[in-house]
Amino acid sequence: MTFEQLIQEPGHLLLKSISGSRAYNLHLPTSDTDIKGIFVLPEKELFGLGYTEQLSDAGNDEVYFEVGRFMDLLCKNNPNILELLNSPEKAVLYKHPLMRLIRPEDFLSRRCLQTFAGYAKTQIKKASGLNKMINRPMDGPRKGVTDFCYVIAGNGSLPLQQFLSQKNWRQEDCGLVKVDHFRDTYLLYHGAYNGIVSGDDANDVQLSSVPKDAEPAAVMTFNKDGYSVYCKEYASYQTWVAERNEVRYQGTMDHGQGYDAKNMMHTIRLLSMAEEIAVQRRVNVHRQDREFLLRIRQGAYKYEELLKIVEDKMNKIERLYAASDLPDEPDAHKAEEILVQIRTSFYVR
């Protein structure tokens, strides 16, 4: 079965619902309408060699889970799946009577601490990375090996390029000899030598053959570890620039707080939902805290303030789950019985 076939033959649907910001009550006038749902594979395909666990359109704006895959993820307390199962009534576009067999409260467990709050932690790391990218840009040309070289001068050190400039020397006319027992340390000579580096694209210094009676002009050290870290960060930054969502990035720059506000909004939403599951034993998809969450999206809070909110929420959530009477994990045997009942009823109708 393909996505197009499912849309043309909706008789295989169990659930179709609006999801994302419009289901959360966090949509803006420009928000897209995302759709998620559940379907049952045709019986012949289920028993055949090719099992299709998920279908979606080209942009992943409309996604459907095969009921077997849905039940598997439900037993893992996947946040997206629990949200789909608990879709607000006004967001539901179609619901098959067999869906009554899957009761949301039967599948909540202590696993939600990790799936909701744990996922929120990963988003915090992601936001921290973005914060670093924004506040430590690497837009200029990539630095080279000589930018990480220094010579001993007086009681301190001098950047190699400054030293060469003062001497009116070119790096191509210099030579290096390694100093034994000193890591990445060299004697620097001036004359007809190989050069400090082989070219602009070099990733290390190079050595030269130097006459025994030649006098070194300086002692030079190459911060190789610093250069290696810089190269990784520079490559990561350039990848981020190439792949970033420009609309969201511009929104981040507009509010001036240096973090992805939409990402942080959903992080705190997930933490609030995790807390509600522990206390209320239900998944509240439609957010009553809309105004607070939208203020986060608008950049009303400083990054450090949000990190404090997250820390306080995490501490509270961990205490709540430690004291909760939720089961350690959903009953997989019961889930399997429900799955068999749904398939049996669906195929014999």
For every residue of 247-298, DSSP letters joined together read HHHHHHHHHTSSS-HHHHHHHHHHHHHHHHHHHHSS---S-TTHHHHHHHHT
> 226 and 315, same structural domain?
no
In a domain, 237, yes or no: no
Q: What is the dihedral of CA 221, 223, 224, 230, to 10 degrees?
A: -150
pLDDT digits 0-9 by tens, 125-141:
666 555 555 656 677 78
Domain count for the chain: 3
**Number of residues that make up the chain:** 349
> 154 and 122, same structural domain?
no
> 283 and 190, same structural domain?
no
- Is the CA virtual torsion 307, 310, 312, 314 positive or negative? negative
Of 188, 205, 192, give the one whose Cα is nearest residue 153. 188
At 12 the pLDDT is: 94
Q: Of the residues 164, 196, 230, which one is the last residue of a structural domain?
A: 230
> 16 exposed, middle or buried (CB, 10 Å; 0-12, 13-18, 19+)?
buried
**Which residues, given as ranges, of the chain have pLDDT below 70?**
125-137, 244-259, 349
At 132 the pLDDT is: 56
In a domain, 49, yes or no: yes
> 179 and 36, same structural domain?
no
> 102 and 116, same structural domain?
no
In a domain, 73, yes or no: yes
At 341 the pLDDT is: 96
In a domain, 267, yes or no: yes
> 133 and 254, same structural domain?
yes
At 47 the pLDDT is: 85
At 189 the pLDDT is: 97
What is the extent of the structural domain holding 216? 145-230
In a domain, 158, yes or no: yes
The one-letter amino acid code at 46 reads: L
Predicted structure pTM score: 0.67
> 88 and 6, same structural domain?
yes
> 164 and 116, same structural domain?
no
Q: Are strands 34-39 and 62-66 parallel, antiparallel or unpaired?
A: parallel
pLDDT digits 0-9 by tens, 210-259:
999 999 999 999 999 999 999 998 888 888 777 766 665 555 555 545 56
Q: Of the residues 182, 202, 230, which one is the last residue of a structural domain?
A: 230
In a domain, 167, yes or no: yes
Q: Of the residues 230, 263, 279, which one is the last residue of a structural domain?
A: 230
> 114 and 52, same structural domain?
no
Sheet holding 149-153, edge to edge: 156-159, 149-153, 218-222, 185-190, 174-178
> 335 and 320, same structural domain?
no
Of 239, 291, 236, 301, give the one whose Cα is nearest residue 264. 301
What CATH number is given to the structural domain containing 24? 3.30.460
In a domain, 39, yes or no: yes
In a domain, 238, yes or no: no
> 98 and 38, same structural domain?
yes
> 318 and 251, same structural domain?
yes
